[in-house]
A and B are shown apart, each in its own frame.
Chain A
Amino acid sequence: MNHLLGSTEFVQPKSLDDVIKVMAQCHTRQQQYFLFAGGTDLVPYLKNYPEQAGTLVSLSQVQELRGVCLDSQQCLKIGSQTRLAELAGSELIRQHLPGLAEAIAQIASGQIRNQATVGGNLLVNNRCSYFNQSPLNRAYHDECYKAGGEVCHVIVNAKRGDPVLCRARFVSDVAPNLLALGARLSLLSAKGLRHLSLKDFYLPDGIHRNQLADGEILCAIEVPISPKRKVAYEKLRIRKAIDFASLGVAVAWVGEGQARQWHLALTGVHTHPISVNDVEFDGALVTLEKLIKTAEHVAQPLKQDFLSPSYRRRMISVLAKRALARLAD
């Protein structure tokens, strides 16, 4: 055996209330905790960072966090601990958001989709070829900011105090789809429940990645649905299995004809997902072109991936148009 999890404690609360309590206890005891959803991102991290000991708080027994339902306001409510495979296989999703099911089918592998959850995917850690490394590799290059060190190997003159310190890239495949569909999140902590649009959730830094507070948990995702709302996703990756997105492009529309609204969202090319929508209506392709231009302008692919930054930028419009073609089918 070579890799062991460094964590010292493992708890499996049965209810959301208990989860909140455990988090509060850890806080009081000044003990680090990790909310354990599917573990497919967390476990490799813990194996690479054996010094990160703490309490693993498993969410697998919290039934209220699982499942998909249709609430009265024409909105799908997805429990954050719904496994990706369950979500893609859900009748409600297949009926109302088939594009989302197709996008999920492009994530990692069948095994991982049976383990990973939708909440975990939205919160998946940003990746960088200097951060996702063993202790030995990090000792060669020196620990980067995200790993707890004092250097960035991607932006060499980055320094503490910069508005964006870490350029590790955002890689969730689910996020761009849910962004394009206008999803909202419900977050629970001891202070109570709050709702946040997914668009406002992510932060521009690769370390402080989102608005989830200490002691807070992502409970559910609400996605508005209507027969006129559709999404399609194109993923750029070397292999058609296993790999993270070098770039992911989701294109969605809502409404029809002159009133059609467009939404474009990207993953893999920035520290956070990029989301652009347009309420103007000057004809489909023209509008999308404009969105693509905006997204290309915002995107900041860097040298954190096998495929070069300029190539990934170039592929934004190619993939967006392919997604559009799929939408129109």
Chain B
Amino acid sequence: MGHKQKISFSINGNFWDGYVETSWTLLDVLREQLDLTGTKRGCDMGDCGCCTVLLDNKPVLSCLLPALEVQGRAVKTIEGVASGASLHPVQEAMVEAGAIQCGFCTPAMVLQGVHLLECNSSPSALEIKEAISGTICRCTGYNKIEKAFCLAAQKIAEPK
């Protein structure tokens, strides 16, 4: 208890350095130290996916990642997805498609969507299922999240 080590990393495009507990995960640091509470603690054991963040642009589970492991790397959380007041197309699509109920898995789903559409501008239905299958949503049955990702792909392909 009480062992701290210094790290620095990029969080949502900003440089951060400071001391973190060696026993803390990235999720602990995000929520308890940086006050970025959009990343959710659903199970803390790597099963539910609600703590998903992008590490060097790839979705990972922050509850399984010792904070010190992100030294020198780039972390993006849900707070870094929208640019200012304008939502990312994935966020817009989630809102419009009614893909959000309780909202607890939503940050993880949004980040998965952002990642998926960056890698694959027109994903198939199966690829969308695959992309969201690491996060449990107990409310929506996933149908509307899948729909939202299709809608987001359209939005990105044909900006207004």
Contact = CB atoms under 8 A, between A and B. Distances in A.
Interface string A9-50: 110100000000000000000000000100110011001000
Given A8-B22, A110-B134, A242-B134, A43 B52 contact: no
A110 B71 contact: no
Interface in B21-65: 21-25, 28, 31-32, 41, 44-47, 49, 52, 55, 58-61, 63-65
B3 A111 contact: no
Contact of A1 (B28, B45, B64, B65): B28
B158 interface: no
Interface in B112-147: 112, 130-131, 133-135
B68 interface: yes
Contacts of A60: 69
A240 B46 contact: no
B61 A115 contact: yes
B5 interface: yes
Contacts of A40: 46, 61, 64
Given A43-B25, A109-B134, A111-B61, A2 B44 contact: yes
Contact of A110 (B45, B63, B66, B131): B131
> DSSP class of A's interface residues: helix, strand, loop or mixed?
loop
A44 B46 contact: yes
Contacts, number: 97
A44 B64 contact: yes
Given A7-B23, A8-B23, A109-B134, A114 B59 contact: yes
A5 B25 contact: yes
A47 B60 CA distance: 18
Residue among B61, B64, B112 with most chain A CB within 10 A: B64
Interface string A214-251: 00000000000000000000000000111000000000
B69 A4 contact: no
Given A8-B3, A44-B45, A114 B58 contact: yes
A266 interface: no
Nearest to A42: B64
Given A39-B65, A60-B69, A112 B134 contact: yes
Nearest to A3: B44
A154 B44 CA distance: 28
15 contacts: A3-B44, A3-B63, A4-B24, A12-B68, A44-B46, A56-B22, A108-B134, A110-B112, A111-B52, A111-B61, A112-B46, A112-B64, A114-B60, A240-B133, A241-B130
Top 5 A-B residue pairs of the complex, sorted by shortest distance between their CB atoms = A109-B134, A241-B133, A43-B64, A5-B23, A114-B58
Given A112-B61, A242-B133, 12 more contacts: A4-B24, A5-B23, A5-B25, A8-B22, A43-B25, A43-B63, A110-B130, A110-B131, A114-B55, A114-B59, A115-B64, A241-B133
